Amino acid sequence: MSDTSLQVKIWRGTGATDSGRFVDYSVPRQENQTVLDVVTHVQRVLDATLSYRFACRVGMCGSCAMTVNGQARWTCRTHVAKVLGDDGVLEIAPLSNLPVVKDLATDMSPFFDKWAQARGRFQGDQTRHDPFARVRPDSPERQAANAGIECIGCAVCYSSCDVVQWRPDFLGPAALNRAWTLVNDVRDTERTERLRAVAGDAGCHSCHTQGSCTERCPKGLAPTLGIAGLKRTVARAAVKGTL
């Protein structure tokens, strides 16, 4: 396979000051080549000015997500063979719904600011001198929390969400998934505050349950399910007047 080459289009531009455009590159085709391998080849061999972001290369850190042939993906664990269309062209762009810093690197601040807005931080009332909390692993709350805690913060879900595009203040799937894991953490003491933070249309209630986040999550999580749980919990509290 290494004797053939791969036609690659990479989005080049410097954020808001430049609308950007796709630039063509030809990259040697390798067996078991990932999209991140392709981008790295372009940057190291063809054009050192290409900007992109990666760290662990093994699907743990969540920093290398890009839009590959129209869909947000983690590029380090995406094989070229899996995403190459019939035309044999690989098109790589920055993530949608986030401001572009330069080329393939986006500004992740709005994404992580929304985690903070959704109270994505654990708040307990125990100290290191207290005994360990005893949480039954098979309790419904712990199971619900476990289902969402493997998020690596790659923003693939956020980039794939239509509601984020329509309502820029919508907290997005990752922040709401995080909030849901904490709502189900029996040790956490800020449940009511968190439910307030995720209430309403900027919070969980404008989710249309289209499921793009769940479809695209590289870790196989289901933020849609967590958001549905938040909607029910918050709305019940709002109607009862206990919110």
Partner 1 sequence: MTLDPQAVAQARRWYWQRISAMVLALCVLVHLITMILAVRGGLTAAEILGRTQGSLAFAGFYTVFVLACAVHVPIGLATIAREWGRLGERAALWLARGVAGVMLALGLRAVWAVYTAGA
- Chain residues binding partner 1 by CB under 8 A are 119, 163, 166-167, 193, 196-197, 199-203, 205-206, 231, 234-239, 243
Smallest separation (angstroms) from partner 1 to the CB of 208: 8
Would you say 42 or 204 has its CB closer to partner 1? 204
Cβ burial, residue 239 (10 Å; 0-12/13-18/19+): exposed
Smallest separation (angstroms) from partner 1 to the CB of 235: 4
Would you say 94 or 229 has its CB closer to partner 1? 229
N-to-C CA span, the chain: 61
Would you say 12 or 119 has its CB closer to partner 1? 119
Exposed e or buried b per residue across 76-89, where buried means at least 16 C-beta atoms within 10 angstroms of its C-beta: bbbebeebbeeeee
Smallest separation (angstroms) from partner 1 to the CB of 99: 21
DSSP single-letter state for residue 10: E
- Mutual angle of helices 173-183 and 223-240, in 10-degree steps: 60
Would you say 23 or 228 has its CB closer to partner 1? 228
Smallest separation (angstroms) from partner 1 to the CB of 54: 34
DSSP single-letter state for residue 96: T
